[in-house]
Amino acid sequence: MKTLDPQSPYFIDFPGRVRALQAEMAKAGIDVYLGSRLRTLSWLLDTFCPWRSFIVVPSEGLPAAFTFVIDAARVADETWLPEDRVFGFAPMGGQDQIELIADFVKDLLKGRTGRVGIESGMSNYLPEGNLTHYEFERFRDALAPSALVNAHDLVDRLSLVKDAGTIARFREASRIVDVGHAAVFEALRGGGWKGLTETEIAGLAALAMRRAGSEWEWSFTGGNEIASGYRTGLTGGACTPASRRALRAGEPLMVDIHAMFMLGLGDHSHNYLIAPASDRQLWHARNFTDIVALTLETYRAGISPSDLAEKMIGFAESRGFADYMVPGFEHGIGMMGDEWRIGMNDGPFPYWTNPDHRYRVNEVLICAMQYACPEEDIGFRYENPIVVLAEGCEELSKFPLAVDVVT
């Protein structure tokens, strides 16, 4: 187990998080919380859980973590929980995840019939980790007559606004991403781009970022997303795992790279035109950088995603490029595993961003924009984690906003 150091700039009060969740559980009449989402595991355990994992939070006292036995000792080594609160499950009598966890929960309930909070729902994010239908049925049967009730909103509410330690981790992850962008720029300039493929750019950014302290290129969308040529302008596209495509003169290049620092996430996209750049390409580039700049100026506490989208699409319309804008300007972000909707699950479409969510001070989100003109094989992407402030926002990546023309 690791010791939490309150003097560290990256300190997060995990015992305090547990107590806050327990207070919410009491209000909601939840006796035991059974978390299974990656975001919940990161938020409570402070370690990455790549295998199916669970956390059981009692009404008082320390939680217990359960993960696939091959990774349990590593999780025990990295989390702040003591070793005896981390369990490995395996296909053995009494040790499979259902029986092991159900027995643990029943011990906590001390023979009473209780209400067990679970995490259910849907997500576009594949590793979200909601309880599967099969797991639900098995836990329901094993814990009967206790009731399983969906309670993910407790964690969602508590994790919405970020504390100083979390923001500091995101800030450091963004600093590392900027190192990656600098390395890519160095590699491209002066004809260095010739012969490079998208995957090589992804790799050289990864090397630079890891040297600077990144743990991995965390995004499930293929790590570092690199697109060149027509791939930058795919209709409505905002996901480009790097391909083996080689860079070519006269084409755009999109470099969307990711770093992770103590489960804080860096995610920034920078764009290039490989010379020669045509006037038309430069017109597209100006449109893009102007709308990004205006968007960043507009973010502040109190506005909503729909307010922002309306204003930005109006601007794009006035400049004659609304047809090329994907009409979304952000996505949610939190500690590793939290990468999808913004706000609570209280919008018109369940488990999607509520367009009328009002941003609050110290919410962190990814300002994310995609400009795509497929008929001209050109597009650009902007992503940057921002901290919402009372009057404005803090852009965590400091890499200068531009579409750089490289020769």
Partner 1 sequence: MSTFQYLTEEWRAEAERRLKAELTPDRMNHITSSMSNVYLDCPGGGTKHLLFRFVDGSLTEFTLGTGETPEAEFHITGAYDVFARISRAELGAQKALMTGQLKLKGNMIKALKLAAIADRLNKVLAGIPAAY
Using DSSP bridges, classify how beta strands 378-389 and 392-395 pair: parallel, antiparallel or unpaired.
antiparallel
In this chain, which stretch among 72-80, 120-128, 269-277, 303-311 interacts with partner 1, using CB under 8 A?
72-80
Single-letter amino acid code for the residue at 111? G
Q: In Å, how far are 17, 46, 61, 274, 401 from 75, measured between CA atoms?
A: 19, 9, 19, 44, 39
Which of 49, 76, 131, 312 binds partner 1 (CB under 8 A)? It is 76
2 binds partner 1 (CB under 8 A): no
CB of 64 to partner 1, least distance (A): 10
Q: In this structure, what DSSP letter does residue 128 have? A: G
Identity of the residue, 90 or 160, whose beta carbon is nearer to partner 1 in the bound complex: 90
Spatial CA neighbour of 261 closest among 7, 4, 77, 10: 10
In this chain, which stretch among 5-13, 95-103, 177-185, 191-199 interacts with partner 1, using CB under 8 A?
95-103
CB of 142 to partner 1, least distance (A): 14
Sketch the per residue contact string, 141 through 180, with partner 1: x for CB under 8 A, - otherwise.
Answer: ----------------------------------------
131 with 120: CB under 8 angstroms? yes
94 binds partner 1 (CB under 8 A): yes
Question: Which tokens in the block code for residue 378?
Answer: 């050109």
In this chain, which stretch among 79-87, 120-128, 304-312, 340-348 interacts with partner 1, using CB under 8 A?
79-87
105 binds partner 1 (CB under 8 A): no
In this chain, which stretch among 47-55, 92-100, 145-153, 200-208 interacts with partner 1, using CB under 8 A?
92-100
Which of 93, 111, 145, 400 binds partner 1 (CB under 8 A)? It is 93
CB of 90 to partner 1, least distance (A): 6
Q: How many CA atoms lie within 13 A of 90 on its CB side?
A: 7
73 binds partner 1 (CB under 8 A): yes
Which of 2, 61, 82, 95 binds partner 1 (CB under 8 A)? It is 95
6 binds partner 1 (CB under 8 A): no
160 with 363: CB under 8 angstroms? yes
CB of 336 to partner 1, least distance (A): 22
Q: In Å, how far are 9, 241, 327, 329, 398 from 370, measured between CA atoms?
A: 33, 15, 8, 8, 19
Question: Which tokens in the block code for residue 376?
Answer: 């001209």
In this chain, which stretch among 40-48, 91-99, 229-237, 361-369 interacts with partner 1, using CB under 8 A?
91-99
In this chain, which stretch among 87-95, 310-318, 323-331, 352-360 interacts with partner 1, using CB under 8 A?
87-95
How far, in Å, CA of 360 to CA of 144, rounded? 40
* Residue 398: Cβ-neighbour burial (10 angstroms; 0-12, 13-18, 19+): middle
How far, in Å, CA of 140 to CA of 57, rounded? 17
Helix (H, G, I), strand (E, B) or coil at 351: coil
Scanning residues 11 to 70, which ones bind partner 1 (CB under 8 A)? 69
Residues lying near partner 1 in the complex (CB under 8 A) are found at 69, 72-73, 76, 83-84, 86-95, 99, 103
